[in-house]
């Protein structure tokens, strides 16, 4: 990566996807907040998500949001499995849209990683016992993620059909709540990724074995969502582009799946990695996953989003300028600095082309006199 990008302006150019326009190429990656009760978002979510819209992000993706109660990672996860969830989410989407960000939501099912303790509780990592409010995880095969998590129940066809229907219903509720983009979570060892990966999927039916079979559930879910999600609105899928483990899911397979998903109406691929199984030489330095986004963008001819350790404005600008990704997603850095996009625009000399919040403009705009 060179120190000075040839052109910094692409990071702050709009991106039009179907009938939705992102004001810039900076997005908020979905981050679990573990702050819900009964899956209902609350004031914390309004402020957490809203602060990033005020800070200038073009796209704000709400956390992994469970399409069923048993699809939660922890009891404190957000959900969208009932009509009761619609209006609390709508409070957030109205604010996000008012302040210029595209509101998006990640629909998820935790699979064999479900029913875990909330991270900051003083509990050992592992599955919550039923006696303390836990529930039985489900997965493609009865294989535990590791010795600390419960062995899941292998799903039968009726359970698979219910999951497909629940994702579609979640998308319908997301639309009612005012979200303008849906992202399907098929990464990090959760349910859909565990179907993709031979490390977790040992089935011998139409959902196991071949590439086509292992990806069948994700394709069925995308088809079901596209039937209820308007043609005018974008649909994204987050993939773990590699398991980083021999015998696991590969980047070649991610490229192939991205081609299939594009044909099914997916507009963006959110390119992450890992999580299917413990171990593996996972690379974590800044930008390590950008080559995944670049290759999927080039070979699958679909818009891609890059994520992972990207913290510096010039690095983010270079990724877009070099056509390695169409959107740069930030996570921890936007927790440290919700106004990162404004500060990046100032550093890159692009602030005058993209003023954000008039109420703050007097205080943050670079002085020229």
Instruction: Give CA–CA dist 83/107, Å, rounded.
Output: 15
Residue with tokens 């949001």: 65
**List of residues 6+ apart from 66 with CB closer than 8 A:** 39, 72, 73, 77, 78, 79, 80, 81, 108, 109, 110
Pair of tokens at residue 153: 């129940």
Beta strands in 35-89 (DSSP E): 59-66
Closest CA to 34 of 65, 84, 74: 74
Specify the residue for token string 């799903």.
155
Asked whether the beta carbons of 30 and 64 are under 8 A apart, the reply is yes
Q: What is the bridge-based pairing of β-strands 15-17 and 20-22?
A: antiparallel
190 is a catalytic site residue: yes
The token pair that represents 315 in the structure block: 């690095």
In sequence order, the 6+-apart residues with CB closer than 8 A to the CB of 105 are 61, 62, 65, 80, 89, 174, 177, 179, 181, 182, 183
Catalytic residue among 145, 190, 207, 351: 190
Fill in the DSSP letter of residue 364.
H
Long-range contacts of 287-290 (CB under 8 A, 24+ apart): 287/1, 287/315, 287/319, 289/241, 290/319, 290/324, 290/325
Q: Name which of 181, 177, 191 is nearest 68 in CA terms.
A: 191
Partnered with residue 15 across adjacent β-strands are 22
Question: In which element (H, E) is residue 128 found?
Answer: none
The DSSP code for 40 is: B
CA distance 369 to 249: 56
Beta bridge partners of residue 186, listed in sequence order: 239
**Active site residue ranges:** 190
């Amino acid at each position: 990566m060179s120190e000075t990008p040839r052109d910094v302006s692409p990071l702050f150019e709009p991106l039009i996807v179907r009938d939705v326009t992102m004001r810039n190429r900076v997005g908020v990656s979905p981050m679990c907040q573990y702050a819900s009760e009964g899956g209902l978002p609350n004031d914390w979510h309004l402020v957490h998500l809203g602060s990033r819209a005020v800070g200038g992000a073009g796209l704000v993706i709400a956390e992994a949001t469970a399409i069923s109660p048993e699809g939660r990672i922890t009891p404190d996860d957000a959900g969208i499995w009932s009509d009761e969830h619609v209006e609390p989410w709508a409070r957030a989407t109205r604010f996000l849209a008012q302040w210029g960000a595209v509101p998006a939501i990640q629909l998820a099912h935790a699979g064999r990683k479900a029913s875990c303790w909330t991270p900051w509780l003083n509990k050992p990592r592992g599955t919550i016992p039923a006696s303390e409010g836990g529930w039985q995880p489900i997965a493609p095969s009865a294989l535990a993620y590791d010795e600390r998590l419960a062995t899941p129940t292998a799903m039968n066809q009726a359970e698979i059909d219910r999951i497909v229907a629940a994702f579609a219903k979640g998308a319908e509720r997301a639309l009612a709540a005012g979200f303008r983009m849906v992202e399907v979570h098929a990464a990090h060892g959760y349910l859909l990724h565990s179907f993709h990966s031979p490390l977790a999927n040992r089935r011998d039916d139409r959902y196991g074995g071949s590439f086509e079979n292992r990806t069948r559930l994700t394709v069925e879910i995308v088809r079901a969502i596209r039937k209820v999600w308007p043609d005018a609105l974008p649909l994204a899928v987050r993939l773990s582009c590699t398991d980083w483990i021999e015998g696991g899911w590969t980047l070649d397979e991610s490229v192939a799946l991205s081609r299939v998903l594009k044909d099914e109406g997916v507009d963006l691929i959110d390119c992450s990695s890992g999580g299917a199984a413990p171990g593996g030489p996972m690379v974590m330095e800044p930008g390590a996953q950008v080559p995944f986004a670049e290759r999927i963008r080039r070979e699958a001819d679909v818009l891609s989003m890059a994520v992972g350790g990207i913290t510096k404005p010039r690095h983010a600008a270079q990724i877009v300028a070099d056509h390695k990704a169409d959107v740069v997603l930030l996570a921890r850095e936007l927790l440290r600095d919700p106004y990162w996009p404004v500060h990046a625009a100032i550093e890159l000399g692009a602030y005058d082309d993209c003023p954000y919040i008039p109420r703050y403009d007097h205080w943050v705009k670079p002085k020229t006199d």
